[in-house]
Structure 1
């Protein structure tokens, strides 16, 4: 309390008013104690009429600084001033006045009256302050009420816009309702909605309310950055034009619109959705209007709602079109599915069939109703289940899978059928849910192929038997006969006397021709049935073959064996030998090569033989039939033998780039 009082006194000392009051007190005190000073006559007469003497009046004058202090400094200032005035009056009242009691009473009355008046002034001032505070609070409350009413109006407008826009997802209906609602809520003469064509980089009229029909026909387009709407679309910020006829920003089509339709004030805000500008909304007035900040904010908020509604309508349209395309695609797929010649069925991860087409009935013997819900395991034997598990694992692990593959099933009647299957993984939302199978019944083709292979094998066997018989006859009969003839010619040329030199030379020539014939027949006999193949096996026979071809063709041929060589079945060795023999014969007869190589490679399950040369090469026909028509019977024979072995034949060649023939067969 003491500190507050000292603080108040410190501030009072610094106040010029305090010093002025002190000077006034000093002046009144000087007059009060100055006996030689006389008041004007009318003042003396006034004192007399009131029954007061001079000093009593002076004591009353002390009320002036006291009341003034109370008015300017408050009740504290009045109190201290009245104390000072009392201190100035008491010495005279006690020591100098003839009527001490009256003087003391008057001094006390001045002190009391001064404080009462000061307190009254202070109460009045506080009342005025409270009234001012109440008036300020009332003004603040009125302002807040206005803000609340505006917010309620904006909220009601936004709710109204939202309710109207939510009534439809058709884009044009949304745009028309938005334009009409904006014009109503903003209380303007017209509202225009432009949408952005991002590819063409211009705005086009999408909807309007309050504009005549000819406006729609002549509106045209607005380039990005052109005019008010173009600038709004470019910057994404609202723009206002108060006088359309004088504002230089209003150019292009909008300037013509303003002139032809008497537009004076415009406000344009961007249509946005997810931060992306989609167009503009403009409100127009045919008279001057200043749009308040809250109105700009309201239109911006409405534009945001309209932007979201437009985005939803566009998404709905895309979804609708996608649904239509999907429905059409499903109808087409269903038609293809039901009318396909190939069987198509889908089963889940456990093997339960969920859907199957009509062709599945023909292949399995079960009806569609029986197939749906049936497990594929019921149609597979142990080998088929193992193959199905391998296919499933490879598809799930995204490993390479050779398709189509052959699968054997057990039909409803217990007979077996062979299918060429193509299996694909069915995925939904990144999760595998099943497998789709497309199959073609190749049972008849397989039987025909087996019959063909059987007859081909029999023909090949007959050929080899005939080759063996001919080779044996050539060796036992023809070669022996030629040897006898050669010996007789030799004896005739060396032992006969009296023969002319000319005839001797002729006999020697016949002997040489006979020996050449013997070598040719012996080579033919070995080609027909090489004895090395029967006695020592494939690798020695191939090495002997390479040596023989090198000898009589004068083409350097290299033989290489990779892996550990081993004996194969007699039929397999014979067929592989014939393939290599035909390939080397082609090198000798047709390739025009200067070098060649034969490579035999063994591994655990297969044997691979390749014959390569640096000859002229050729264009590989697309089918076996074309090979036959082009006279390449050697390649046709190789392919037939490879098929009998269950292997593969690969020919890599091109004109001028040599040829490589590779055969791979299981062992």
Structure 2
């Protein structure tokens, strides 16, 4: 029973840690690497690997790999594998509703022969599609003790985190390009990799330089500009990188295909990944072609509109991913309540029967004490699991709506010794699921911050039901802080909860205002437009 409770505690901690990863603004591979490390420690296995599966190409990319010993891994990371029909991965694709145990060491045509006694392959399922695989390896005893339901829940959550990270990364790239188009009058648009090689150049290069795009892409910019320009450009970029600047300007004297030289003025943006230069993209303008530039502005405006449309669709996809995450949280909460909690309740009843029979005899004091300890542990396990399930997705939100859910949050926060004043106003009614979930998460995160960080003794929560928007105002009397400028600065300051609130409000087309200063508390105001019909 102690092992059972230990497993449940490990699973609870793991899911909570994964919830924190969801709020972090990380790339897919970084997020999955953190998850692999968490699973390695939580399940006490010898190695973990996470593969991202692409159904059209039937290939699996090894996104993360972690192991206790560096010389004993399931498979090396950062490689792509072709999934053949005779592989264990294909067997999992055919039965994606449960993990596949490999109780003995054997050769696999895709994975080879991992140096472990036993292994389990868990499908990562998003909606109805398999998006990847989680592989755990170790001794037969350790692998056989893993709980399939918990593994499926963890793998499903990992799939959602991976999808969300991929969408966020695509959205960031799209936004970076949109900003460049919006801030600069465009001529020859190009993208260089960190080494100065052309990754992209638009067809305007044909008019300016006489080259087709395919003749330039893949070549280094130094092959076209004079030696003096190459040295000057390299010096400008290196200096900008050392100072973490994002925008640079320089000139190119570049040789056309017909042998003549043209002078281009370049305005470029530097794109960083972590602390290193990732890409260098910009616009090269020929000052002598103003008339041609004016003609192209109309076309550029149209391209900008299309790019913004793609960004809007990406935000819609991200909103769908967040709703899928909420649905997964609700499913996990139901599974815990209907599965693990019920097993513990049944165990408690059997223990009561045993206790009555046992106490009819003449039990020792140690025996009585042991029974009381078991009784107490079961009560604590049931209580903790129920609390965890409620925090994942409180049933009151789905059953009774936002106002009742916020009242429940207020009651929970007051247990921490903080006075909460909750005041809903206006035409109180049920709203769309997306609006209610967004507002609930904003209030939940705000109250959690007040309890954990602000040292507040009083929090006021207001829900204003207006005809065209829902306004959420959370005010506390805590210690306050200096508000960083921009969402990116919040992330660098480690305030990922606030970053998550900004992202949720933006996806709903809403506005968020954060006011705070040291010693003067904090006021958070979120306005969410009511685009969809209310629920009766």
Q: Give me the TM-score of the superposition, normalised by structure 2.
A: 0.42
Query: Per residue, is there more strand in 1 or in 2?
Result: 2
- Look at both structures and tell me which one has the larger radius of gyration over its CA atoms: 1
TM-score by length of 1: 0.34
More helix by share: 1
Structure number with higher relative contact order (C-alpha < 8 Å, ≥ 6 residues apart):
2
